Structure 1
């Protein structure tokens, strides 16, 4: 059984699935430490989840194809995300998407806002529904 954890300020949201075609990896705040593991899974599609400046209200969610990400979406907080995307695209050649959440505060080390917390809960629930149906 594979597990997916979405960290939020209150608790972890966990998802288990018997579907071994799906590999969910919680990289925490250092995705670069998991690059070889991700590449080693030989994925057909990669979906990264992170906060990103979408220029929208806090808690907004958007799925963006990697090559359509705008330069201004990246801040110093997720500069490593940009490098992670470039590396994974080069090494796997697969379709890569970002499920981006608009944070309330963009500064490094900020707590998760209630708006983002609510979006995290909804995303975890939707992923669970997709996997189990």
Structure 2
């Protein structure tokens, strides 16, 4: 419903329709803090959070964002609570938390998702399928902000 802001839910939908070995999917939608209990029940060693994130890049660009820098960089998202609060809640339970941002183009009510963001979701799905997610994308450099 919010155009490119649906990148994370689109990936979750794709993974639920075409499951990938070794990955569990939880769609946090616009209130990921409401699924913390589900994440804790799974007891993952790795948590990957994927979200449309305003990073000042080209639409569809994908970057790993250091979870410790999310609040510091004031990365824009449309969640009820900043994602750094979610990450802080889970840090004691999960040894590795990765945040992967997709640069949106249009985030507005009733806009369709752009092709650039759909393509980025597909790239992430393929990287997860091939088990090389941590090597597939670059970290967000401070100078890119």
TM-score, structure 1 length as denominator? 0.72
Alignment check: 8 A CA contact 2:53 2:104 kept? yes
Relative to structure 1, the CA distance from residue 35 to residue 130 in structure 2 (aligned partners, 3 Å threshold; closer, same or farther) is same
Alignment check: 8 A CA contact 1:59 1:115 kept? yes
- Count of aligned pairs: 120
Which residue of the other structure, out of 51, 74, 78, is the alignment partner of 1:72? 74
2:129 aligned with 1:128 = yes
Which residue of the other structure, out of 4, 7, 10, is the alignment partner of 1:7? 10
Instruction: Give 3-state SS (helix, strand or coil) of 1:29's partner.
Output: coil
Whole-Å separation in 2 of the counterparts to 1:36 and 1:60: 31
Whole-Å separation in 2 of the counterparts to 1:93 and 1:38: 9
Shift of 1:108: 6.1
User: Relative contact order (C-alpha < 8 Å, sep 6+): which is higher?
Assistant: 2
Q: Deviations over 1:85-107 (max 9, x none)?
A: 22222x42532211100110245
Relative to structure 1, the CA distance from residue 97 to residue 110 in structure 2 (aligned partners, 3 Å threshold; closer, same or farther) is farther
Shift of 1:18: 4.4
TM-score, structure 2 length as denominator? 0.67
Shift of 1:110: 4.5
Shift of 1:58: 0.7
Q: Which of the pair is proportionally richer in strand?
A: 1
Task: Structure 2: give runs of 5+ residues left out of the alignment.
Answer: 1-7, 133-145
Q: Which of the pair is proportionally richer in helix?
A: 2
